[in-house]
Chains A and B, each alone.
Chain A
């Protein structure tokens, strides 16, 4: 298996632009997570899907952030409009319910908003 695939690996955008991050989870995994990593705040859980349904989005910073999972093999995280403080590494991870807590992470998308 290719693992969790994220795209793009790097994104540089101007403030105010829309940014879309993409994730393909491991086939057969039914939970998907979006995390944000910064030096100041560490790893933050943004949103958690189970069987394509958002279960916990309490970590989504504000209305500028939205996430979707239209099917079991694809998810997006969108920021509109983007701001410099959104600069971070965004990770997608997936897992199976029967392997509790064993999450597989993608390589991340490094977002820079200038």
Chain B
């Protein structure tokens, strides 16, 4: 079945450090890929997405590139802020199987000032 694997956390960084959160996937069809973010006490919010190979999704300084050859969609940010502290979820959706998302386990990010 379809699945998403993320690097385990928590990831602890100092403010202005570079961030990478690894994500790889397995899919039986051609997936669209997503990163969602969950702030404390809230539901998930879409951060960025990519719908086909080599697409780059970006938002709020975060970027991720859809790499079909390595089945990866790693999240990066050049300079993190304390306000980026949250849980980040990688997810996929395969249109043939309906409009539903398969999520990874989530990665906790803690940014220290």
Binding site for B on A (CB under 8 A): 4, 31, 33, 42-43, 45, 48, 50, 55-56, 91, 93, 95, 97, 100-108
Contact = CB atoms under 8 A, between A and B. Distances in A.
Interface in B39-57: 41-46, 49, 51
B51 to A, nearest CB: 7
Contacts, number: 60
Given A43-B106, A101-B32, A33 B100 contact: yes
Contacts of A56: 98, 100
Contacts of B32: 100-101
A48 B99 CA distance: 9
Contact of A107 (B41, B46, B91, B95): B41
9 contacts: A33-B101, A42-B103, A45-B101, A50-B98, A56-B100, A101-B32, A102-B46, A105-B45, A107-B42
